[in-house]
Amino acid sequence: MIQFIENLPVNMVGFKATGQVTEVDFMNVVIPKVKELVEKTGKLNYMLVLDTSVKNFTAGAWFKDATMGVQNLAKWNRASIVTDVEAIITFTNLFSFVIPGEFKGFKQQDLQSAIDWTSEKKDTDSVAKNK
């Protein structure tokens, strides 16, 4: 299931995936919120907190996710994936080289940093470089 995360900065959307994730989750939860944000801001700042294995995403869920991504291709600004799976973090970080926008993976313990980065409150790369 995918749940919309409440009380995030107004220029981003965030979702938490748990258990099995289906096409219906994307159709009823993700896509309407993404559409609303893009209409309001003209860009997409998106965060997904993965509290389930990617193996729990049905084929329909992957299809809807890909369709949403393509439909908003020019609108992607920042996208973060929050997970403790290193391979997903690495894959997410590589996305910036092939898709418009910035993509960044974060560990679960760094959820607030993911929110701050995704909402453009701060640029964690700049912060890290200044340490």
Distance separating alpha carbons of residues 104 and 95, to the nearest angstrom: 8
The ranges assigned to domains in the chain are: 2-126
Residues 4-29: pLDDT tens digits?
A: 999 999 999 999 999 999 889 988 99
Distance separating alpha carbons of residues 1 and 9, to the nearest angstrom: 23
In this structure, how many other beta carbons lie within 10 angstroms of the beta carbon of residue 106? Answer: 23
Architecture of domain 2-126: 2-Layer Sandwich (3.30)
- Asked if pLDDT for residue 120 goes beyond 70, the answer is yes
Bridge partners of residue 45, in order along the sequence? 78
pLDDT range class, residue 129, cuts 50, 70, 90: very low
Q: Label residue 7 left, alpha or beta by phi (over 0 means left) and psi (-120 to 50 means alpha).
A: left
